[in-house]
Amino acid sequence: MLTAPDLVVPDLDALIGPDAWLPGLATALAAGLLLWPIGSRLRLLPTSRAAAIALFAVATLLIDTYSELGADGRAAFLLGAGAWLAVHGRWRAVLAVLAAVGAAVVSPLVGVGVLVLIGGLALQAGLLRRWSVGVRRAVAVVALLGAVAIALSQVRRLGAPALPPLLLAVLTVWTLLVVGLLWRRQPWLRPVGAAVTAVLACAWLPGTASASAVVVAASAALLTVVLVEEYRTLLARQLLAAAVAAGAVALALVGPGVGGGRVAHVADTADDRTGAPAIPAGPPGPAFATVRPVTISIPAIGVDGPLEDLEADPVTRELAAPDDPSVAGWYAAGVVPGDTGPAVIGGHVDSRSGPGVFFGLRRLVAGDVVRIRRSDGSTVRFTVTGVRRYPKDRFPTDAVYGPAPAPELRLVTCGGVFDRAERNYQDNVVVDAVLSKR
């Protein structure tokens, strides 16, 4: 079976640093403020515009609390700026397009929504109205195919969804309800509804970043108040604005503590271990082996560097993590990668200075390649079979360190929610891989 070329794709979330949740949240809230002038252009009443901002603030704070990367508001801000420019005159159309392109660069999945919007506008004659129906349909088909291609291209490179299923389910029900009610009542909003629904669908794909969820939240908030003004008996606008604003304030006060802390993107970690507890006692491994692993390469997440030897604490039997957060380590009392049995390699997810060597580990998917170069000059190649996350108090020690009939590889790091009180993560991320036959 042919495999994709081993291209190293830049991790934007890693490049902006482990404290990116704070500017990400600030940018998301700035995006919310853009709902005010957009709502004014749509001739929404001030109370409705205030409700839109409050709704978006509630959604953003929830996403920021429960997302593995925090609320990344860059894409939402750029799209909001583009929408504001687009409704303020034809001469700003070029800037609006550039803002949309910038949002797609920040979050490729947002590009899915932009292409679906273009396709919908073409079908409705909102774009290219002077062209024939056949040309508009062709443009729509090309745009929709491009959207599908972008979505599929992101699935393999990224890992598990950044938001828990319950939060995604609430966002889905909210969005689909609002879009569905407006679909027949406001035909001019159908392309917008289709675009938002497309981005929402992408939020369920493996590995989607929180940027797509923030964009959906902003769009759903604006469409909600449009719906309220359309169905004036649905809910008093003043009551909506007051209730949601109160909810935003309450969530801002208690939200950061709801989930036990921020997840894998924070830097306040005392990650002095890989987090894999209690290595089972047994006969010593190849402590004096003549062959050792010396480097590790994982092209899918840009890892390529040396390996150091790791030891288990003689009392707690916990595996110590490398001293350098940018370097992974091999459990030297265990199996040499390529030999029969499970070889274990651990590394930091992050540190006070930035992302750790295994920051992107959770984004690996089945089929990704891990290469280990050994001291005898040989290189062994492993293929990822699965990525799992376990609570540390239910870590499958026997499954990770226990005997295996063939050469296997385990990559271990921390993940899940960061407990600020304990200064450690609540879960472990474990990647399973098997020796490739070629």
pLDDT of 259: 35
Cα(113)–Cα(29) distance, integer angstroms: 21
pLDDT of res. 205: 75
Q: pLDDT tens-digit profile of 157-175?
A: 444 556 677 778 888 888 8
Q: Can you tell me the distance from the alpha carbon of 302 to that of 143, in angstroms, rounded to the nearest whole number?
A: 31
Q: What pLDDT score does 242 carry?
A: 59
In total, the chain counts a number of residues equal to 438
pLDDT digits (tens, 9 = 90+) for 228-271: 777 765 544 555 555 655 655 554 454 433 333 333 332 333 34
Summarize pLDDT for 189-241 with one digit per residue, the tens.
Answer: 899 899 999 988 888 876 556 778 888 888 888 888 888 777 765 544 555 55
User: What is the pLDDT, as a whole number, of residue 266?
Assistant: 28
If one counts every other C-beta atom within 10 angstroms of the C-beta of residue 289, the result is 12
Say which residue the tokens 């226990």 belong to. 402
CA 212/CA 176 separation, integer angstroms: 16
Q: What is the residue-wise DSSP string for 177-239? A: HHHHHHHHH-GGGHHHHHHHHHHHHHHTSTT--HHHHHHHHHHHHHHHHHHHHHSTTTS-HHH
Q: According to the model, what pLDDT value does residue 434 have? A: 94
Terminal CA-CA length for the chain: 11
Consecutive sets of 10 residues in the chain, 438 residues long: mean pLDDT of each? 30 41 74 82 80 81 70 83 75 79 84 88 81 86 89 62 74 86 85 90 72 86 82 55 57 42 33 48 50 92 90 72 86 89 89 79 90 91 91 82 89 79 78 86
> In this structure, what DSSP letter does residue 131 have?
S
Three-state SS at 166: helix
Confidence at residue 69, expressed as pLDDT on a 0 to 100 scale: 59
Residues contacting 435, CB < 8 A, separation 6+: 338, 380, 381, 382, 383, 406, 407, 408, 409
CA distance 194 to 124: 12
CA pair distance 136, 122, nearest whole angstrom: 5
